[in-house]
Amino acid sequence: MRREPSCGRVVIEADDPYAGVDVIDDGPLIGVRRVIADRLGEAHRNVVPVTLHRELRAPVPGPRPYDGLVFAVVRALVDQPALNAAFASGRLRTFGEVNLGVAFDGPQGLVAPVIRGVHDMTYRELVAARRELGARVQDRRLALSDLVGGTFTVSNLGTLGVQHFTPVVNPPQVAILGVGAVRRVVDRSHMPVSLTFDHRVVDGAPAARFLVRVQHHLDNLQGGTAHL
């Protein structure tokens, strides 16, 4: 493979299986995209994934459904720390603080930067931190240090109309929650969620109880967030 200086196009050598195919770009993965590729490869090789699906009810009146869900997830992780953990080199670490990875579709592809110390944040502080992080993703202002140290991840494809999907655990974390498109049923907003966990270290029952706690904390948001 070589790049033709006169036109900037990639030229494929004759013995390449893609010889004769118009290639726009060709090069090694670097930076954030390389980190993403390495982690997904590790997940495919090592994690034993199991996914639970459930539909959650958002409170009415109350916060915007996804904002409320993220806050409820953090509170549920405090209640159920078995999912707020990391597993690597045969050692399982369960954490007393929640550093939440939040997946974004940015200019560099899918990234899940970390908001640290969310267990100590109020609802409003968490919403503001997530929005500020999203702006940094779009402006390409992430550092590699923003992508490490997470204890749990939330990924939302509902904004793109996806109803259900199976999220991939972000090693060494042991669980991730995928969120689908919100739909209205009578006077309620309903959110399909998919919890993928590493069955090597998390069993189905505690994972199911975690989703029960998420719903519990969503119900506690009934009436709004003025007190949060």
Question: Which residue numbers are catalytic?
Answer: 199, 203
Residue 221 phi/psi, 5° resolution?
-85, 0
Look at the alpha carbons of 198, 201, 203, 208 in this order and tell me if their dihedral is positive or negative.
negative
Residue 151 phi/psi, 5° resolution?
-110, -10
- d(CA 161, CA 107) in angstroms, rounded, equals 20
Give Cα separations from 61 to 126, 167, 223 (angstroms).
Answer: 19, 29, 5
Q: Measuring CA to CA, which residue among 210, 225, 228 is closest to residue 56?
A: 210
- d(CA 174, CA 165) in angstroms, rounded, equals 18
Residue 95 phi/psi, 5° resolution?
-105, 145
Q: Measuring CA to CA, which residue among 198, 147, 208, 155 is closest to residue 173?
A: 198
Give the contacts of 126 (CB within 8 A, at least 6 positions apart).
67, 70, 71, 74, 115, 118
The helix (run of H) or strand (run of E) holding residue 128 is helix 123-138
